[in-house]
Amino acid sequence: MGDMGLTEVFLNESKEIIGNLEMDIVTLEDNRENQEIINRIFRYFHTLKGSSGIAGFNIIYEFTHNLESLFDKVRSGDIKVSRDIIDILLDSIDWIKGELFSESEIEDSGKIQAELTERINECMGFELKAKDEQTDFLSAVGAYSGVGSSERYFKVIAVFKEDIFTNGIDPLMVIEDLSNLGEVMISNVDQKRIPDLYKMDPEKCYMSWEIILKTSYDEMKLRDAFLFVMDDNNIEIENVTDKYDEVKVHGSLTEKKLGEILIEMGIISDSDLEEIVKLQSNQNFKIGDIIVQKGLASPKQVDEALQEQDKIKKKLEISTVRVDSAKLDNLMNLLGEIVIGQASLHRVSDDMDEDKAFRLKNSLYGLDRVTREFQEQIMSIRMVPIAPTFDQFKRFVRDTAHSLGKEIKLKVEGGDTELDKTVIEKIGDPLKHMIRNAIGHGIEVASERKAKGKPEAGTVTLKAYHQEGNVFIDVIDDGKGINLAAVKKKGVNLGLITEDETSKEKILALIFSPGFSTSDQVGDLSGRGVGMDVVKTNAEELRGSVEVKSKEGEGTLIRIKLPLTLAIIEGMLVKVGTSVLIIPLLSVIETIQVKKDDYRTVEGKGEVILVRGEYISLIRLNVLFGLEAGITNPWEALIVIVESNGERIGIMIDDLIGQQQIVIKSIDNFITTSRSISGATILGDGRVALIIDIHGLVQEIKNI
Amino acid sequence: MKVDKEVSVKNINSFYFALREEVENNNQVVLDFSDSVRIDSSAAQTILAAVRKVKDLDKTIRFVGVSPELLKLLKLAGIKIQ
């Protein structure tokens, strides 16, 4: 095995490659002819093979070599994608994962590997025969060859460091990987760098190449071949298509127009495009619409081309640097300290004479602005799209559905929605719970669906979107919905509600109750409720909430609401007695003073105030948290109206201190188990202030 | 001279000294790759240096038993097989 640094790099990269492979393989099952996915899978196996060889994982090298060979046949059209192949690929991925990442020895690993290799070999042999039988006239005369190709030429200069062998890297293998991406038109090894035979040190590297490669891949793919050597060696890749390609090139190769992509995909011709462009200039319609309108391509094909265009754009625009996420966390913590320091300086300015205080506050104002911008920048770095999290469920949905004999499609919407990486890391498990429930108990078997007039294949939709400073994630299934009567019955039996309860929301919310989900309820309650309390707890740990909507016979929607970030919030500092507390600004609707007449005590509801014709509960924080009381009469105090899940309450405070960025520090359960507290912060004067969790507070007062 | 099944940086020194000796002692150097499946950069650059040396010394070098896979690799490494 290679040295530790190399192994670590390899394992990290492999994890990413395997994740991508899983997603693409599952996607391929529904898009069996998609050449782009097929090429990508081939490339992943190829990269995995190459890097495992470099890192000294010889068993993986040999195994992935077989997979690469299998997929090469798929790529060349010798083997057609089938359910068997998908199964083999996924089983192989599982075995590789076990070999690379399992902490303990995998039982029968060698046997499993041998069986998989046999299946791969069988598949190659059998399918080849089948293909021979299927070959039609058009294929035989090469009618399909070249369709969708877009050749480019790249000049690659690779000069390797003398000590590269000590890292276990063989530059020739890297160049071999590169050559497999296309056709090497010109290859020159600079022999001037190689010393005289008698003077050379064979353990030092003197190899360097200048290569012209003809390939259909983009520059990013070529860079992948140099993954492990790019940083320390002189690697230059230049697109020289203009110099080598005699074929007419439409505009810049770096950015493609929709029409060009459709031509490359073999969907429209050059003359079609010319005609469409003329029409576009006359009609002022979008080119995609005209193409669809004229019946030259289906909306799906145009969508695919648009996606491809977007991908190219993104690949060209993105210039990324890989950063250890711990460094980002540290950066955020340090920024937190700066925010606390600033608050402290604000505090100091209060004790200064007016002139000096003005000057300090003026300077701090500028600093505040920069800090805020700084925070936004760090936040944007920490924000990652949810698409990879969603995509990882494709495999899960496929496997779970197959094991239950159901046909279920996973639909993903809003994959570009970005969330704080901490939130993303913690949301995976709750989502899995919800998807499992939707598959296992929500969506009916095909025969049942057919009988109800539904499509035989069920759909689970994962949808993410931003709204009002929060991120919403919906898990929607088009299954049988939740049996409200059964939930109510169970709730009554468990003593969670009374027979009189009529609120649909309240009854449905029971599925999130701890202990509500026991195995005997699965049948009774259409299976809903299994582990849903875990979903709720996890969402709340992320300062989020969860709600459910369901219609019997039509489906269920479970919505998780999450904050954009977990690290810093905008908070309102309020005074209660001698204590300072923080109310998250996002939950604040308004701050009011009530008249004495608008204050009542209602039996069973406690203290209420009349706000715009509606009575809302009044909360005294000193009573709730056992603090020293300040103002005791509500009509003399200030009332902060807050909202959670559409429910409003009034919080009685003595005074408003101000508004500032709050760095959230978590507090342990032994300090408080109250759900009304989400954390604490350090104020400018060094005091600790508790942060009120409005959602938890509303829930807690409901239970009092 | 018979080339090992695999020549890499792990066994390059023995290959290097054997090839040097071969170049020094023979007017015609024959590298037999019939057992060989793979060489790495260290072996390739040694062969390239040997080819140049042989030319300088007005000697000849031949490669025999090269498999198609290995041929592709040798070509990539800039080693011209006549």
Residue A574, chain B, CB below 8 Å: the answer is no
Statement to judge: residues A696 and A593 lie in one domain: yes
Name residue, tokens 């890989």. A322
Whether A518 shows a pLDDT value over 60: the answer reads no
DSSP string, A217-285: S-HHHHHHHTTTTTTTSEEEEEE-HHHH--S---S-SSS--HHHHHHHTTSS-HHHHHHHHHHHHHH--
Q: In this structure, what DSSP letter does residue A79 have?
A: S
Instruction: Give me the pLDDT at residue A140, please.
Output: 38
Statement to judge: residues A66 and A87 lie in one domain: yes
Q: How many CA atoms lie within 13 A of A606 on its CB side?
A: 12
Instruction: Give me the pLDDT at residue A146, please.
Output: 34
Statement to judge: residues A217 and A198 lie in one domain: yes
| For residues A648-664, average pLDDT | 86
Contact B45 A200 (CB under 8 A): yes
Instruction: Give me the pLDDT at residue A1, please.
Output: 40
Q: Is the ipTM of this complex over 0.90?
A: yes
Our CA-based measurement puts residue B56 at a distance from the nearest CA of chain A, in whole angstroms, of: 10
Say if residue A86 is exposed, middle or buried (CB neighbours under 10 Å; 0-12, 13-18, 19+): middle
**A147 lies in a domain?**
no
Instruction: Give me the pLDDT at residue A191, please.
Output: 81
Instruction: Give me the pLDDT at residue A678, please.
Output: 78
**A162 lies in a domain?**
yes
Whether A534 shows a pLDDT value over 60: the answer reads yes
Helix (H, G, I), strand (E, B) or coil at A366: helix
Whether A58 shows a pLDDT value over 70: the answer reads yes
Statement to judge: residues A14 and A132 lie in one domain: yes
Whether A665 shows a pLDDT value over 80: the answer reads no
Contact B78 A188 (CB under 8 A): yes
**A252 lies in a domain?**
no
Name residue, tokens 């919403």. A472
Q: Which chain B residues are within 8 Å of A202, Cβ to Cβ?
A: 12-13, 15-16, 42, 45-46
The residue segments making up the domain with residue A238 are 152-244
Our CA-based measurement puts residue B10 at a distance from the nearest CA of chain A, in whole angstroms, of: 9
Statement to judge: residues A338 and A305 lie in one domain: no
Rounded to whole angstroms, the Cα distance separating A413 from A557 reads 14
| For residues A598-617, average pLDDT | 88
Statement to judge: residues A607 and A620 lie in one domain: yes
Whether A529 shows a pLDDT value over 50: the answer reads no
| For residues A386-414, average pLDDT | 87
Residues in chain A: 704
| For residues B29-52, average pLDDT | 92
Rounded to whole angstroms, the Cα distance separating A377 from A382 reads 9
Statement to judge: residues A436 and A339 lie in one domain: no
CB of A640 closer than 8 Å to CB of A574? yes
Statement to judge: residues A391 and A374 lie in one domain: no
Contact A194 B39 (CB under 8 A): no
CB of A631 closer than 8 Å to CB of A622? no
Q: How many CA atoms lie within 13 A of A610 on its CB side?
A: 7
**A37 lies in a domain?**
yes
DSSP string, A292-359: HHTTSS-HHHHHHHHHHHHHHHHHHH-------HHHHHHHHHHHHHHHHHHHHHHHHHHTS-HHHHHH
Statement to judge: residues A397 and A529 lie in one domain: yes
Q: Where are the domains of chain B?
A: 6-76
pTM, two decimals, is: 0.48
Whether A463 shows a pLDDT value over 80: the answer reads yes
* Residue among B16, B52, B77 minimizing CB distance to A172: B77
Statement to judge: residues A122 and A101 lie in one domain: yes
For the domain made up of B6-76, give the CATH fold. Transcription Regulator spoIIAA (3.30.750)
Whether A397 shows a pLDDT value over 80: the answer reads yes
**Per DSSP, what are the bridge partners of residue A582?**
A573, A691
Report the CATH number at residue A74. 1.20.120.160
* Residue among A176, A191, A198 minimizing CB distance to B76: A176
| Number of folded domains that form chain A | 6
| Interface list for A 190-209 with B (CB within 8 A) | 191, 194-198, 200, 202-203, 205-207, 209
Q: Which chain B residues are within 8 Å of A188, Cβ to Cβ?
A: 78
Statement to judge: residues A612 and A544 lie in one domain: no
Our CA-based measurement puts residue B29 at a distance from the nearest CA of chain A, in whole angstroms, of: 14
Rounded to whole angstroms, the Cα distance separating B30 from B25 reads 12
CB of A197 closer than 8 Å to CB of B49? yes
* Least-confidence region, from A165-169, A415-419, A522-526: A522-526
**A359 lies in a domain?**
yes
Q: Which chain B residues are within 8 Å of A160, Cβ to Cβ?
A: 41
Statement to judge: residues A498 and A589 lie in one domain: no
Contact B49 A165 (CB under 8 A): no
**A146 lies in a domain?**
no
Using CA coordinates, name the residue in chain B closest to A183: B76
Rounded to whole angstroms, the Cα distance separating A540 from A635 reads 33
Provide the token pair at A569: 């919030």
pLDDT in tens, A128-181: 333 333 333 323 333 333 333 457 888 899 999 998 988 788 999 999 989 988
Q: In this structure, what DSSP letter does residue A632 have?
A: -
Report the CATH number at residue A575. 2.40.50.180
Residue A6, chain B, CB below 8 Å: the answer is no
Whether A345 shows a pLDDT value over 80: the answer reads yes
Our CA-based measurement puts residue B12 at a distance from the nearest CA of chain A, in whole angstroms, of: 7
**A441 lies in a domain?**
yes
Residues in chain B: 82
